[in-house]
Amino acid sequence: MARTLETLQKQYNSAVAASGRGPMAATNNFKGKPKNSRQTIGRILSYVSEYKPRMVLALLCMLLSTGASLAGGYVLRPVINNIANGETPAGDRVKYLAIMLGVLAAIYLVGVASSWLQSRLMIGVSRSAIQKIRDDLFTRVERLPLRFHDNESTGDLMSRFTNDVDNIGLMLDQSLMSMASGVINLIGTLAMMIYTNIWLTLITLVFIPIFTLTSRFIIGKSRKYYSAQQAALGAANGYIEESVAGQKVVKVFNHEAECEQEFNLLNNDLRHKQQNAMFFGGIMGPITGNLAQVSYALTAGIGGVLCALGRFDVGGLAIFVNYSRQFARPINEISQQMATIFSALAGAERVFSLMDREPEEIHAASGVKPPEKLAGHVILDDVSFGYVPEKTVLKHISLYAKPGQKIAFVGSTGAGKTTITNLLNRFYDIDSGRITVDGIDIKDLPRDFLRRNIAMVLQDTHLFSGTVMENIRYGRLDATDEEVVAAAKTASADSFIRRLSDGYDTMIEGDGANLSQGQRQLLNIARAALSKAPILVLDEATSSVDTRTERHIEHGMDRLMAERTTFVIAHRLSTVRNADAIMVLENGEIIERGDHDDLLAMKGRYYELYTGKSELT
């Protein structure tokens, strides 16, 4: 049965982390109004503050453009009065008009040049700011702990990098300067109207409260739906990303129809929120525009009466009604930009909420200077841990591994085997107990130093876009080509690599889609072989390699493990027979320990598993 909309939203949307209700809150928990609009705007502006000289120059250009527009309008007053009153002789009128048109052309040319320069400056500022926002966002995501990535939808993260940041960019490109230009235009136009005729100005100002109340009502509605729209978009993106990545599984189980049904729920929810957001954002312009037309008609009518009574000149009326229309235009433009601004603020809150997440501390808090080199003597002393407080995964685990020893973990799925290696890397911090390497508590070692000294081959392979050579070199970026080839030979990957179309220069596509699962794992093993780390973790490293290939690389793996402390997790018990010590785990506890012969002699759980009397479940 397809999941409900609420379930899908909870699973695929972490957009409202900033609301304080946790990373997996549902989209329909949005209350609309940004938590702190002023603070959000301040943070956005902080990214453009370093470009103050450009901003000041853009502002001067804006003032010049506005001044040119207002001056150009006022120049028409003497022209109209001159012609209407016949002040210039008929023979000189063409010459007079030509001179005045030249003056107007010069004024408007200055305005156009100023607007062009302003746009060029602001686009440069906004694109630079957006680049820095994306840099900061990516840096923070890279520094967040693994626990965060366990709970976060990849699609929603991508939505923050694309949709949300793009909306901020749109606001900086257009809305920011449009709002500033609108305010300057409003003030300048009002000043010219007062100078032209204060009584008609008062009539125009009567409509300001009507504009304000109407805008406030529409803004309240649109703000709510724009926030919800961004969250719904993140949920839809998360579902698309997961479904596309899992197409093979979808097709194997014939779940295309269910996927379509679930996506339709999210897509319809997105359509509903977008429809409301765009409706309330879109009606702002037409409503304020029509109110402006009413104001214009009323002003023109009363102005006409004043002209008829001789209390006002025709040229003054002509430019005043033009200013009256201009007075409404910036209000209309500001109103129209509110939709973009609310969308940007909603996106910015999502972006900044991610930036505000507590990063993983790379450096050790104790300030202990790490040794130049680790030997690989690992001790776990009474370690307990749970991914969530209410469920303990590991219970009082104690073990040691001397440099060069091979320690194997066997047990049922969920027994805690992989968790132990995750704790060794400090992907998660233990709840109680102590883990030391060469006698140093791993909490006193910088995370980056600790992880440089631990090489891992995971069950789930991940290859990056690039050549085979570059992917192996990921294990140690300063390795030479000769060292990369040697590592590939150690992992028995060299022979198949040389058979590829371009050998070590073959481009890897789509996480290794052009390689078999076994070949991808061999590259993973070669990557670990290249690392000089004294500690090696093999988490089901040969699970994706067939038995023949596994035997083929066995000697290479032995060479790889010869001088390293190695922790091996394996379901195939034949792969751990030569381990120095085997730990049998069940329900987060070590129930048996010893070498292969010792455990067989116990005739316990390991004996049952090895002889086939019991199976791993």
33 pLDDT band, cuts 50/70/90, is very low
Pairing type for strands 432-437 and 466-467 reads unpaired
Pairing type for strands 565-569 and 535-539 reads parallel
Q: Is residue 245 part of a domain?
A: yes
pLDDT digits (tens, 9 = 90+) for 168-204: 988 888 777 777 777 888 888 888 888 888 888 888 7
Instruction: Show the DSSP H helices in 197-207 as ranges.
Output: 198-205
pLDDT at 20 exceeding the cut of 50 = no
Q: For residue 147, how far is the Cα from the chain centroid?
A: 17
pLDDT for the residue numbered 109? 92
535 pLDDT band, cuts 50/70/90, is very high
Could you say which DSSP state residue 388 is in? B
- State which residues form the domain around 253: 5-10+33-355
Q: Is residue 483 part of a domain?
A: no
Paired tokens of 595: 């070498």
Match 């129209």 to its residue by tokens: 336
pLDDT digits (tens, 9 = 90+) for 331-389: 667 766 777 788 788 889 889 988 988 887 766 555 667 888 888 999 999 999 998 88
Give Dmax over CA atoms of the chain in angstroms: 125
In angstroms, rounded to a whole number, what is the distance separating the alpha carbons of residues 199 and 133? 49
The backbone torsions φ and ψ at residue 406, rounded to the nearest 5 degrees and listed phi first, read -115, 115
In angstroms, rounded to a whole number, what is the distance separating the alpha carbons of residues 481 and 293? 74
Mapped onto helix, strand or coil, the DSSP state of residue 584 is strand
pLDDT digits (tens, 9 = 90+) for 283-309: 776 777 777 778 778 888 888 888 878
Do the Cβ atoms of 410 and 603 come closer than 8 Å? Answer: no
Percent residues over pLDDT 90 in the chain = 16
pLDDT for the residue numbered 571? 72
Cross-strand pairs, 378:
401, 437
Could you say which DSSP state residue 506 is in? P
Residue-by-residue DSSP string for 341-382: HHHHHHHHHHHHHHHTSPPPP-S-SS-PPPPS-----EEEEE
pLDDT at 542 exceeding the cut of 80 = no
Q: What average pLDDT does the segment 540-547 reach?
A: 66
pLDDT digits (tens, 9 = 90+) for 401-451: 999 899 999 988 888 888 998 899 898 999 999 999 999 999 888 888 898
Of all residues in the chain, what percent are helix, strand and coil, respectively (each to 5)? 65, 10, 25
pLDDT for the residue numbered 408? 92
In angstroms, rounded to a whole number, what is the distance separating the alpha carbons of residues 429 and 383? 10
Per the document, the length of the chain is: 617
Percent residues over pLDDT 70 in the chain = 85
254 backbone φψ class: left, alpha, beta (φ>0; ψ -120 to 50):
left
Q: Measuring CA to CA, which residue among 390, 385, 356 is closest to residue 137?
A: 356
Q: What average pLDDT does the segment 496-501 reach?
A: 91
In angstroms, rounded to a whole number, what is the distance separating the alpha carbons of residues 398 and 413? 20
19 pLDDT band, cuts 50/70/90, is very low
pLDDT for the residue numbered 14? 44
The H or E element that residue 56 is part of is helix 52-85
In angstroms, rounded to a whole number, what is the distance separating the alpha carbons of residues 425 and 442? 9
The H or E element that residue 500 is part of is none
Between 377 and 147, whose confidence is greater?
377
pLDDT at 583 exceeding the cut of 90 = yes
Match 């996506």 to its residue by tokens: 263
**Which residue pairs from 551-555 have beta carbons closer than 8 angstroms and sit at least 24 positions apart in sequence?**
552/492, 553/491, 553/492, 553/522, 553/525
Angle at 90 between CA 85 and CA 93, to 5 degrees: 80
- Please tell me the total count of domains within the chain: 1
pLDDT for the residue numbered 326? 74
Do the Cβ atoms of 243 and 267 come closer than 8 Å? Answer: no
Average pLDDT, the chain: 81
pLDDT at 86 exceeding the cut of 80 = no
The Cα-based distances of 426 to 128, 429, 434 in angstroms read 36, 6, 12
Amino acid at 176: L
Supply the CATH number for residue 189's domain. 1.20.1560.10
pLDDT digits (tens, 9 = 90+) for 205-223: 887 777 777 777 777 777 6
Dump strand ranges (E) for 466-607.
466-467, 507-508, 535-539, 565-569, 581-586, 589-594
Q: Measuring CA to CA, which residue among 409, 532, 515, 416 is closest to residue 462?
A: 515
pLDDT digits (tens, 9 = 90+) for 104-127: 889 889 989 998 998 888 888 888
Q: Measuring CA to CA, which residue among 2, 24, 22, 28 is closest to residue 13?
A: 24
In angstroms, rounded to a whole number, what is the distance separating the alpha carbons of residues 96 and 79? 9
550 pLDDT band, cuts 50/70/90, is low
pLDDT for the residue numbered 400? 93
547 pLDDT band, cuts 50/70/90, is low
Between 56 and 12, whose confidence is greater?
56
